[in-house]
Amino acid sequence: MGRASLEQLAQRLTRDARITVLTGAGVSAASGVPTFRGAGGLWKQFAPETLATPQAFARDPALVWEWYDWRRQTIAACAPNAAHRVLANWSRRFPSFQLITQNVDGLHERAGTERVLRLHGSIWEVSCWQRCAAAPARWRNEDAPLQRIPPTCPHCGGLVRPGVVWFGEGLDPDVLDAAQAASDCDVFLTVGTSSVVYPAASFFEEARRHGAFTVEVNPEATPASAMADLVFRAPAEVVLPELKLP
């Protein structure tokens, strides 16, 4: 990892800089949370695209819940790593810092990060699949393992679903607006994401359009790599702690 590149980035992280960081599954990899794509990304031979959809849930809710139950148990046993901790520090140090995460694991929050925008919801929340009138829009459920699969709505007895955003579903419009606004920044880092899922992947391009200095931290190349001003081809938990801020 280039010392010169580290210094180049550190110099841009000034107190008044508007710094936005977009994270993906790779930021939690060192905590032991499996990523979606690439080595170790599969659960029982199922690609995430075949499980993370409303159609898959409608077809076989128990199968989809088994996957989420396995992930919830895995995440419950994980703790934030050095990358989460550095970003939590930045959120306290830089008044205009904004974190946008695609992760549903809650590890940024557990590390104490302020101003977290969760694009894809939370694996620790659920909602009524029928959207029955008696149930709130969503509520927390931290049982790991779940008491029964599939879990049921305490208000109507029907199915509940994970409080996450599946393929083909829209993101929360307020969160989306806030993430778009945060893409107008001075320094934009994309950390541990394959940059293939939209609209999350568009924020990097959006930041460039606004003239931001763009940085990628990822051991593998992604569609964002060719556009970045700086690329750190190394794990987030190694690169971020190496940055020596003035």
Indicate which single residue of 2, 154, 199, 223 sits in contact with ligand BJW (rule: CB under 6 A): 199
- By beta-carbon proximity to Zn ion, the closer residue of 40 and 136 is 136
Beta pairing partners, 188: 20, 214
- By beta-carbon proximity to Zn ion, the closer residue of 47 and 132 is 132
Alpha helices in the chain (DSSP H): 3-12, 48-51, 54-59, 61-76, 82-93, 107-110, 173-182, 202-209, 236-242
Does 120 bind ligand BJW (CB under 6 A)? Our answer is yes
**Residues constituting the chain:** 246
Neighbouring residues of 20: CB distance < 8 A, sequence distance ≥ 6: 97, 98, 99, 100, 182, 183, 185, 187, 188, 189, 203, 207, 212
Per-residue binding letters, 33-72, with ligand BJW (x by CB under 6 A): --xxxx--x------x---x--------------------
CA pair distance 102, 195, nearest whole angstrom: 10
- By beta-carbon proximity to ligand BJW, the closer residue of 32 and 154 is 32
Q: Is there a contact between 75 and 33 (Cβ–Cβ < 8 Å)?
A: yes
Does 117 bind ligand BJW (CB under 6 A)? Our answer is no
Does 241 bind ligand BJW (CB under 6 A)? Our answer is no
**Residue 108 is among the residues annotated as catalytic for this protein:** no
State the residues that interact with ligand BJW by CB under 6 A.
Answer: 24-26, 29-30, 35-38, 41, 48, 52, 102, 104, 120, 164-170, 192-194, 196-199, 217-220, 222, 235-237
Residues with catalytic function: 120
